[in-house]
Amino acid sequence: MPAKKRCFASAALKKGFIEMKKGNHVFYRYQNSKGQIEDRVHTKVSHGGNGDLSDSLLAKMAIQMKFDKKEDLMKYIECTFTLEMYRDLVQSKLQST
């Protein structure tokens, strides 16, 4: 199921990401609870298009954001996956690599 870019952006900015615009893309970089940027957790979205994020793009974004599956990213966008849950997930993923 596609998601709206604006819904993703709103969730990302509320849940640990900062937005950086460059050219035709918007980059989202993860900022941990100490305010440090984690280089290994990021994604990007194009300015163009119809405002929807396709299923295939969401699957790629889920991997970049360290989710186990696209469905978890959808929960993140829908706000049933909280900031605390996401911080715990990222911390565990970064410690295991």
pLDDT by residue, tens only, the chain of 97 residues: 789 999 999 999 999 999 999 988 999 999 999 999 999 999 999 877 778 999 999 999 999 999 999 999 999 999 999 999 999 999 999 998 7
Q: What single-letter DSSP state applies at residue 3?
A: E
Q: What is the side-by-side order of every strand in the sheet holding 17-22? A: 17-22, 25-31, 37-46
Task: Give the pLDDT score at 46.
Answer: 85
pTM assigned to the model? 0.91
Q: What is the domain partition of the chain in residue ranges?
A: 3-95
